[in-house]
Structure 1
Amino acid sequence: MRYALTNGTIYSGYTTAQGYAVLFENGQILDLVQTDEIPEDFIKLDANGGIICPGFVDLQVNGGGGVYFTQYPTLESLNTIRDAHLQFGTTSFLPTVISAFQDKILQTIDAVHLAMQQSPSTFLGMHLEGPFFSPEKPGAHDTACIRTATHEELDVLLEAGKDVITYLTLAPECVEEGVLKRLAESGIVLSAGHSMATYDQALHFFNNGVTAVTHLYNAMSGIDTKQPGLAAATLDYGQAWTGIIVDGHHCHPYAVRLAKKMLAEKLFLVSDCAACVGSDIPFTDFGNFKSFYRNGRCETEDGRLAGSALTMLEAVQNTVNMVGLEVDEAIRMATLYPAQVMKLENRVGQLVPGAAANLVVLGQDLQLQQVWVDGQEVALAK
């Protein structure tokens, strides 16, 4: 079928257009045309005066629908997580694997590989968050799994994870230079996180293969004026792609505004969401600890943050309503910029000819109205 989504304000990349329609067919965007130029053989779809934008792109999805992917590394789990996040407008994402032993990581690679074959515009690869962390900044990760990267382990992971592991969070100061160089040359996006890097170390790594930073301000050395660390270097350097969790818990709205002023288009939204998204489960049991869903937070029993209960829809809403950014920029932070991180902006994150027909329609109040994936409308829960 050939469709024309019309009667809305189109936000795509740097384009804001009224009086236009998005044409799509067979799961792909064909063009943006003026409404009076819609071909007669297209079925017109009404956006009811809302906002038409690309589906959200989330580079850090731990779980959803009651499932934590690292715990249950199967294609079935990934489809459950996908279905949960579609209900909140996320149409493309990186399933994220937290620090684990090698056999578990290999299982996750197999599952993501199958998912990528099944739905390539939804599953963009895999974010391996750990296990090569600073033991001083484990966050809620299992410290028993945190270890030093070796060439022997890389032999296994790079072979099994070729074209699957596309994003890797590590503490670069804990990785031998030769290993870091090898990882950088593999084409994987290297992101600094769970790190105690000093300011000088961080700048060195930014110039030697590390191109991103994971959940700014959290689980990293900070902005101490006498001993500045990774967070300070990220803001000062200004060129590393930087994810941020805008849920009101991981960082103050002021800190988001500061990051935006310093990083501009390099700052993008992530959810870092846990299994509770799209589910009513009260906690996730990891064996060595439990992550509880309380008062909009995911936290350990002693109150430490353990991922988030955030959706990308809420992240966009919070960026506008809590932080004070403009709607078009908040949408870019959830669509174009994360797609650019992965060099996939011609496939997802924009409504351009040849891109996947992954679309979201929001009301002017930023409430979700419609979701389309590969040109198919998603039934939204009432």
Structure 2
Amino acid sequence: MTYYIIADRFLLENEERKKGYLEVKNGVFGEFRDKIPENSEVKDWSGFMIAPGLFDTHIHGIKGHDVMDGTVEAIKEISNTIVQLGVTRFLPTTLTSSDEILEQAIKAIVSAVDSGLPGAQSEGIFLEGPYFTDKHKGAQNARYFKNPDEAEFKKWQELANGTITKIALAPEREHAIDFIKEVSKQVLVSIAHTDADYECCRHAVDNGARCYVHLFNGMSGLHHREPGAVGAALTDSRCYTELICDGHHVHPILASMTLEIKKDKLILITDCMRAGLMPDDVYYLGEFPVTISNGIAKTETGSLAGSTLKLIDGIQNLQKWSNRPLHEIWHLGSLSTAASIGKADKFGSIKSGKVADYVVLNSNLTVIATAVDGVVKYVRDEIPIKF
């Protein structure tokens, strides 16, 4: 099936174009054209902008559902909700927990994906933990922290049918370096919830780690005599660096500074938990109660506990703070995230030959419609469908 999209503005991979036709053939982007053959099928989004589908590589839940619920329903509801926010791909993200609960969550993700997700599609599982350390535990449950174990990971990967794509750990834990050497051959090993110093982090990267999770949060900070994990993340061009741009986790000035340093190795994520899109109240993140006040999630001890951020809002925030072009910032939530897990050849930008995931936006960057694999999965209720 072939159709053409008409719109006022297109955020292509390397440029922004105005007016024209974008070809979609069998779920894949074709060429951008000024004219199309007669009698072609057209999806008319005149008056709107077309951007790549967003890719959230770190999301726990939203709208009352969480990956750690361990149910197929939760994964499907997350998929269906985030596609309405312009997200077309995601990594369902776990938390540190008992083996029993973690394994149930893995099985639920696999079952949900196998039976078909209704909206955004999973591109693998992100295991956030359980190989962390206490000092920067955040909302992770230290009761279940332990040393990395290759045999254990292999068991989980087999349970996941090989779909674990990313894992986060503290590199100072015993056996961590040997674990990184082996596991980084198959997944993205990330550094998180760690008190490791600069040298330890560099050693982990030398042995295969390639990402830092929610920079500045859950890690040893930057000091002029000990750069810490933050300094290691900022100064190592080999590594991707996650950032939560909600204005609470990281000051806007530091977010802009990180962009200047990391450039396209910066990846925007949400770290959203079940309270996303929900009213202020008390919710659970894993086994911990989390109070939401003015959209900010905190544990009983006052630690930030994930976020309620929408990825598109993080993009708008960083663009405002940095005053950079929209297509540059947008790609930090689509192309850079895809690249971080080795999938930039398939997802993350509008380019001929890539999967046709796209978002239709108005001038305020409100999501009007979202398509996955070239199929429109969501259209905003008040917008008349033009095709």
2:308 aligns with: 309
Aligned residues: 378
> Residue 142 of structure 2: SS of its match in structure 1?
coil
User: Does residue 9 of structure 1 match 2:29?
Assistant: no
1:247 aligns with: 246
Do 2:280 and 2:295's aligned partners in 1 also have CA atoms closer than 8 Å?
Answer: no
2:385 aligns with: none
Partner Cα distance (2:165, 2:123) in 1: 8
C-alpha displacement at 1:10, in angstroms? Answer: 1.4
> Residue 308 of structure 1: SS of its match in structure 2?
coil
Do 2:29 and 2:355's aligned partners in 1 also have CA atoms closer than 8 Å?
Answer: no
C-alpha displacement at 1:281, in angstroms? Answer: 6.7
> Residue 205 of structure 1: SS of its match in structure 2?
helix
Partner Cα distance (1:114, 1:226) in 2: 49
1:61 aligns with: 59
C-alpha displacement at 1:310, in angstroms? Answer: 0.2
> Residue 169 of structure 1: SS of its match in structure 2?
strand
Cα pair distance change 1:127/1:288, threshold 3 Å? closer
Partner Cα distance (2:225, 2:286) in 1: 39
C-alpha displacement at 1:19, in angstroms? Answer: 3.0
Do 2:253 and 2:321's aligned partners in 1 also have CA atoms closer than 8 Å?
Answer: no
C-alpha displacement at 1:47, in angstroms? Answer: 2.6
> Residue 235 of structure 1: SS of its match in structure 2?
helix
Match of 1:75 among 66, 72, 76: 72
User: Does residue 327 of structure 1 match 2:314?
Assistant: no
Letter in 1 for 2:217: N
Cα pair distance change 1:18/1:32, threshold 3 Å? farther
2:294 aligns with: 295
C-alpha displacement at 1:168, in angstroms? Answer: 0.4
Do 2:124 and 2:163's aligned partners in 1 also have CA atoms closer than 8 Å?
Answer: yes
User: Does residue 92 of structure 1 match 2:94?
Assistant: no
Alignment of 1:138-153 (within 5 A): 138-153=137-152
Do 1:84 and 1:278's aligned partners in 2 also have CA atoms closer than 8 Å?
Answer: no
C-alpha displacement at 1:175, in angstroms? Answer: 4.3
C-alpha displacement at 1:217, in angstroms? Answer: 0.5
Partner Cα distance (2:140, 2:351) in 1: 39
Partner Cα distance (1:30, 1:232) in 2: 39
Do 2:7 and 2:49's aligned partners in 1 also have CA atoms closer than 8 Å?
Answer: no
User: Does residue 131 of structure 1 match 2:130?
Assistant: yes
Do 1:87 and 1:381's aligned partners in 2 also have CA atoms closer than 8 Å?
Answer: no
C-alpha displacement at 1:129, in angstroms? Answer: 0.3
Letter in 1 for 2:43: L
User: Does residue 369 of structure 1 match 2:368?
Assistant: yes
Q: 1:350-373 CA distances to partner (integer Å, 9 max, x unpaired)?
A: 223343221102223222222112
Letter in 2 for 1:353: S
Alignment of 1:1-382 (within 5 A): 2-26=2-26, 28-36=27-35, 38-70=36-68, 72-117=69-114, 118-119=116-117, 122-176=121-175, 177-185=177-185, 187-280=186-279, 282-286=281-285, 288-377=287-376, 378-380=378-380
TM-score normalised by L of structure 2: 0.92
Do 1:85 and 1:277's aligned partners in 2 also have CA atoms closer than 8 Å?
Answer: no
> Residue 128 of structure 1: SS of its match in structure 2?
strand
Cα pair distance change 1:359/1:175, threshold 3 Å? farther
Cα pair distance change 1:322/1:279, threshold 3 Å? same
C-alpha displacement at 1:153, in angstroms? Answer: 1.8
Cα pair distance change 1:151/1:123, threshold 3 Å? closer
C-alpha displacement at 1:113, in angstroms? Answer: 2.0
C-alpha displacement at 1:16, in angstroms? Answer: 2.0
Partner Cα distance (1:175, 1:244) in 2: 27
C-alpha displacement at 1:22, in angstroms? Answer: 1.9
Letter in 1 for 2:352: P
Partner Cα distance (1:372, 1:283) in 2: 34
Letter in 1 for 2:51: C
C-alpha displacement at 1:288, in angstroms? Answer: 4.5
Cα pair distance change 1:40/1:112, threshold 3 Å? farther
Cα pair distance change 1:287/1:310, threshold 3 Å? closer
Cα pair distance change 1:287/1:366, threshold 3 Å? closer
Cα pair distance change 1:29/1:286, threshold 3 Å? closer
Cα pair distance change 1:287/1:340, threshold 3 Å? closer
Cα pair distance change 1:349/1:288, threshold 3 Å? closer
C-alpha displacement at 1:62, in angstroms? Answer: 0.3
Partner Cα distance (1:193, 1:43) in 2: 48
